[in-house]
Amino acid sequence: MNGWSGPGRRGVLALGAATVLAACTPTAKGADGDKVRTDLKPLERRFTALGPMSDAHWLGTVLGTDSRVPGPTDVRVVGTAQLKAGAVAAVLRTRDFQHEPPSGIPAQLTKYLPKNADWVHSTTFDDELTGGTYPGTFHLDPDTDRVYFDTTNPTTPPD
């Protein structure tokens, strides 16, 4: 016998499994303490195809900061912004969109979204905006010319 038997071995294995899972579970922590940001330059630099923006409210949330496993840091950039008048109508004329509300909206941002918005979404449009280089979804509201974006590690497009 090796000295491990009965509940003692099971207990050690369960504790070990729980420790590994806790160490690898991604967590989210706001880079600015979950402070809602309103600056436009970081958004306009990354989402150039949307054109000029105003009235932005967004979060830059660092994902996985409590992980004990070293690796790259991922950042979720999620929020809403006002596009110039007619921008959404112009996009809708040239692409197919489906009525689909955004999901997973952080509580800090809900008060900045238009009430009764008729959000539309297109995976093709997502791919155009991200260039296929990072995950991201973009929902548009035709009535208010607002965009809701939810991205991970959005890159700045080449000049």
46 burial level (CB within 10 Å; 0-12, 13-18, 19+): buried
Higher-confidence residue of 140 and 17: namely 140
Q: What are phi and psi of 8, to 5 degrees?
A: -60, -45
**Contact 103/114 with Cβ under 8 angstroms?**
no
pLDDT tens profile 14-58: 433 333 333 333 444 444 547 999 999 999 999 999 999 999 999
pLDDT value for 90: 95
Per the prediction, the chain carries an average pLDDT of: 83
Closest to 123 (Cα-Cα) out of 135, 112, 113: 135
Confidence of residue 156 (pLDDT cuts 50, 70, 90): confident
3-state secondary structure of 128: helix
Residues in the chain: 159
Q: What are the percentages of helix, strand and coil residues in the chain, rounded to 5?
A: 30, 25, 40
Percentage of the chain lying above the pLDDT 70 cut: 74
Taking only the tens place, the pLDDT of each residue in 94-115 is: 999 999 999 999 999 999 999 9
Q: CA 18, CA 84: separation in Å to the nearest integer?
A: 50
